[in-house]
Chain A
Amino acid sequence: MPAALPESRPDLIRVENFSFHYGEKQAIFDIDMAIPEHRVTALIGPSGCGKSTLLRNMNRMNDLIDGVRHEGDIRLNGISLYDPSVEVISLRKRVGMVFQKYNPFAKSIYENVVFSLRVAGRSNRSELDESVERALKSAALWDEVKDRLHDSAFGLSGGQQQRLCIARAIANQPEILLMDEPCAALDPLATLKIEELITKLKSQYTIVIVTHNMEQATRCSDRTAFLYMGRLIEYGDTVQIFNRPSHPETEAYITGRFS
Chain B
Amino acid sequence: MQPGFPNTDTPFATTGRSRRGEPWVWLTAAGLTLGVAMALGLFLLILVKGAWSFWPRRIDLMEISTNGVIEKIAGYVTQESQRRDDEGVFHEEIQIFRGNKDLSGEAFKFIDRADVVKTSRPESLLLIERLEYGPAIVHGVALVTPGGRIDVSSPDFEKTLSQTLKDGAETRAQLLRIERKQIGAISREMEALGRAERSGTVDAQTAATRNAQLQKEFEARQAEAAKLRAGLAESSFIGITADGREVTFPAEKLLGVFAANRAGFGERLAEMGHRIWKFLSEDPREANTEGGVFPAIFGTVVMTLVMSLFVTPFGVICAIYLREYAKQGHLVRVVRISVNNLAGVPSIVFGVFGLAFFVYFVGGGVDRMFFADKLPTPTYGTPGILWASLTLAILTLPVVIVATEEALSAVPRGVREAALACGASKWQTIQRIVLPASLPGILTGVILAMARGAGEVAPLMLVGVVKLAPSLPIDDIAPFIHPERKFMHLGFHIYDLGFQSPDAEAAKTIVYATALLLIIVVVTLNLAAILIRNRLKKRFAVSSF
Chain A: residues with CB nearer than 8 A to chain B? Answer: 59, 61, 64, 66, 89-90, 92-93, 96-97, 99, 101, 103-106, 115-116, 118-120, 152, 154, 165, 168-169, 172
Contacts and interface: CB of A to CB of B under 8 A. Distances in A.
A116 B422 contact: yes
A106 B428 CA distance: 15
B415 A105 contact: yes
19 contacts: A59-B421, A61-B417, A64-B417, A90-B423, A96-B421, A97-B418, A99-B421, A103-B414, A103-B417, A106-B437, A106-B542, A116-B422, A118-B432, A119-B424, A119-B425, A120-B423, A154-B541, A154-B543, A169-B422
A179 to B, nearest CB: 11
B269 to A, nearest CB: 49
B36 interface: no
Nearest to B545: A101
Contact of B541 (A97, A101, A152, A165): A152
Interface residues of B, number: 23
Contact of B421 (A61, A90, A106, A152): A61
Nearest 6 A-B pairs (CB), nearest first?
A: A97-B421, A93-B423, A116-B422, A103-B414, A119-B424, A154-B543
Contact of B415 (A93, A103, A152): A103
A90 B432 CA distance: 18
B421 A119 contact: no
A115 B425 CA distance: 12
A106 B418 CA distance: 12
A173 to B, nearest CB: 12
Contacts of A165: 418
Nearest to B328: A66
Contacts of A115: 419, 422, 424, 432
A172 B418 contact: no
B464 interface: no
A92 B418 contact: no
A53 to B, nearest CB: 14
Given A106-B543, A119-B428, A152-B541, A99 B418 contact: yes
A152 B537 CA distance: 12
A93 B423 CA distance: 5
A184 to B, nearest CB: 13
A97 to B, nearest CB: 4
Contacts of A120: 423
A64 B325 CA distance: 12
Contact of A89 (B423, B432, B436): B423
B348 interface: no
A172 B327 CA distance: 32
B434 to A, nearest CB: 10
A103 B428 CA distance: 17
Given A106-B541, A154-B541, A119 B422 contact: yes
Contacts of B436: 106
A168 B419 CA distance: 10
